[in-house]
Chains A and B, each alone.
Chain A
Amino acid sequence: MAFFQRLQTSAFTDWFLGSPSIWAYPTVLTLHTVGMAILVGASFVINLRVLQVSGLIPLHRLQPLYRFIWIGFAVNLASGLILFVTEAADRVVDPVFYVKLGSIAVALVLAVVVKRRSLQPAGAPQVASVQMRSLAAASLGMWTIAIVAGRLMAYLKK
């Protein structure tokens, strides 16, 4: 706890939150939103396809979208870490933060499972199994929870 307190009251935090520069807090926050758009946007499209929306798209052709998922995730992991440092002591005791992290973790696992089991080779069935469709629907739900939790955190800020 003392460690997180130290992060939150560090010189970096003071500079980051206090700086009038748009390149500090505003830009990192905006990067977090851009990363979300890329990550969740790509996952959204894959999940829709697995749920038979745009059902004529060959499933395996969506595999390159995973590059966008991982790029978006990397951007948000990095920007999220910075944002976390500056409010570390508040966040480690914030249950909403853990809801957000948990739903992101589940959504990413679901994305990998869907990729391995549903987006496999050409010539494979182009209609995902009921099980895979449920996972795609669950993934959409997880992203929704993650976004709502993320927004809520801004309101629960001390």
Chain B
Amino acid sequence: MAAFAAWVESTWISKALFGISWLWPASESLHFIGLCMLIGGAGLLDLRLMGMFRGLHIRHIKALMPWAMAGFVINAVTGALFLVMQPHLYLTSAVWWSKVTFLVIAGLNAALFETRLAVPALAMHPDADTPRQLKIVGAVSLFSWFAVLYCGRMLPYLGTGN
């Protein structure tokens, strides 16, 4: 991984991007904004799946998901920029790989919801409590996103990150 990171860092694209002085701080700001959009939108859906916010139709909350997704895309793009600019900070960091693991968990969990559970969930009465599997899916999602945030923010201070 260290060799691969060194190779990425030697490419012209990595050097060119890292040479743009404002790109790193601007990407950081966007990364923070994206995380608020993602956790705000997805978080409300997660809480409703967990049985809170009765009175809210799950179908109506889902209208927020394109905005949560937009936040995710902002963070995927800015995250990719960090990775290309300074790969050695991430690829050799166990904390970063933990972050990736929680991202995968959040993604698989969302896919499980969309493919197996969404149809009955969207049809639920707004005041109804949610069945156990939806509570688990909501809790896993909420936990994973905060774990992603935690790993990302702690990355410079834990493990091999700089």
Interfacial residues, chain A to chain B (CB-CB below 8 A): 22, 25-26, 29-30, 33-34, 36-38, 40-45, 48, 53-58, 61, 64-65, 143-144, 147-148, 150-152, 155
Checking A29, A57, A150 against B153 with a beta-carbon cut-off of 8 angstroms, the contacting residue is: A29
Interfacial residues, chain B to chain A (CB-CB below 8 A): 25, 28-29, 32-33, 35-37, 39-41, 43-44, 52-53, 55-57, 59-61, 63-64, 67, 146, 149-150, 153-154, 156-158
Q: Which 4 A-B pairs have the closest CB atoms?
A: A41-B40, A26-B157, A54-B63, A44-B40
Q: Assess whether B57 is in contact with A44, with CB atoms less than 8 Å apart.
A: no
Main secondary structure of the interface of A (DSSP, over half): helix
Checking A22, A43, A144, A155 against B157 with a beta-carbon cut-off of 8 angstroms, the contacting residue is: A22
Checking A42, A61, A155 against B40 with a beta-carbon cut-off of 8 angstroms, the contacting residue is: A42
**B-side contacts of A54, CB under 8 Å:** 60-61, 63-64
Q: List 12 A-B contacts (CB under 8 A).
A: A25-B157, A26-B156, A38-B43, A41-B39, A45-B40, A48-B64, A48-B67, A56-B57, A57-B56, A57-B63, A64-B52, A147-B36
Q: Assess whether A155 is in contact with B25, with CB atoms less than 8 Å apart.
A: yes
